[in-house]
Homo-oligomer: A and B are copies of this chain.
Amino acid sequence: MTDALQPGQTIGILGGGQLGRMLAMAAARLGLKVHIFEPAANPPAGEVAHKTTTAPYEDETALTSFADSVDVVTYEFENVPAAALDLIEARVPIRPNRISLATSQDRLTEKTFLRDIGLETAPFATVITEAELAQALASVGMPSILKTRRLGYDGKGQARINDRHGAPAALAAMNAADAILEGFVAFDREISVIAARGLDDTIACFEPGENVHTDGILDTTTVPADISTATRERAFGIAGTILTALDYIGVIGVEMFVSGDKIIINEFAPRVHNSGHWTEAGAVIDQFEQHIRAVAGWPLVDPVRHSDVIMTNLIGDDIEQVHAIAAETGARLHLYGKAEARPGRKMGHVTRVLGPATDR
């Protein structure tokens, strides 16, 4: 525990959205202070943090004084510029490490990494030019989906290609950004494993959840997922393989497609993950505290699940259901304190307890 933060020390968090907000509260429960760095004014996480710096990721003075005020840095947002991370890393450890972040930031690097460590992904090919796209379509097949290599989330920066006639429009939708063509995977269900790795190399996995997306945004996560014992154990193994290969510290969210006996990795997020929000109502520890423990060098907790649950995101106008949800028995409501409910904006979530944990 020599590397462990002491109560009263400070964790810096890059990004001040709802994930940062929930991380900040988890840190406070452990007696740790939080300093949020976020370019946008009045971030949700700032409401519950010791300190907030509002500055762009290009502001070297602000980044320097942020780095000097904290004992370790983590992030809730992946698209932090490399130069900002270089500056911070020269002063204070960043967890999860740079290679984990860089790998996840680029879909091509990520899929190549996954393939290289022996995991299965959808077929993929790099696409910059029209000629490459034609070649990629030949190798990957159709229908397939063209995605920007970087900066995509919640279904943005993606274009489906059903036949050759759709190719030019899809390429144009990339706005000249480097892209990757991914083959469609026929799957029975999507699951995700929220797992953590500590400074002592311990790995701890939460029960896999089963995800349903609507319009490219996570709608519900149901736990446990409807998968076989063998698939469940293999999913844990896959998460462990990724964590070890990256020498990862912190919580990771790994999205997987399950097709019969096969598991195909979709992607991983090097941070706490929307599909892990159920943990606060269904397990003895939530993903936020597990992440804080890992990056603070504290021991991980065996994340025993005590309840069967379903987590539903509250998006945009869903916020109007809040008082009705608040009146439901067995529904745990969590709101993010965002002032304006724009369409597609994640405003909160609710985890409904279905009953005591069924045996796995």
CB distance from A320 to the nearest CB of B (A): 10
What does the 1/0 interface line of A223-259 toward B look like (CB < 8 Å)?
Answer: 0000000000000000000000000000000000000
Residues of B contacting A356 with CB < 8 Å?
Answer: 306, 356
A305-334 at interface with B (beta carbon < 8 Å): 306-307, 319, 322-323, 326-327, 329-330, 332-334
Q: Is the CB–CB distance between A335 and B48 below 8 Å?
A: no
Comparing A22-30, A150-158, A179-187, the segment that makes contact with chain B is: A22-30
* Copies of this subunit: 2
A20 interfacial contact with B, CB 8 Å: no
Residues on the B chain within 8 Å of A333, using CB: 29-30
* Chain B min CB distance to A326 (Å): 5
- Would A48 and B28 count as touching, CB distance under 8 A? yes
Additional pairs, 20, CB under 8 Å, beyond known A25-B28, A304-B330, A356-B356: A4-B323, A7-B337, A8-B337, A8-B339, A25-B25, A28-B47, A28-B48, A29-B333, A29-B335, A30-B326, A30-B333, A30-B335, A31-B322, A31-B336, A31-B337, A32-B337, A33-B337, A48-B49, A298-B326, A302-B329
| Chain A residues near B (Cβ < 8 Å) | 1, 4, 7-8, 21, 24-25, 28-33, 47-50, 281, 284-285, 293, 298-299, 301-302, 304, 306-307, 319, 322-323, 326-327, 329-330, 332-339, 348, 353, 356
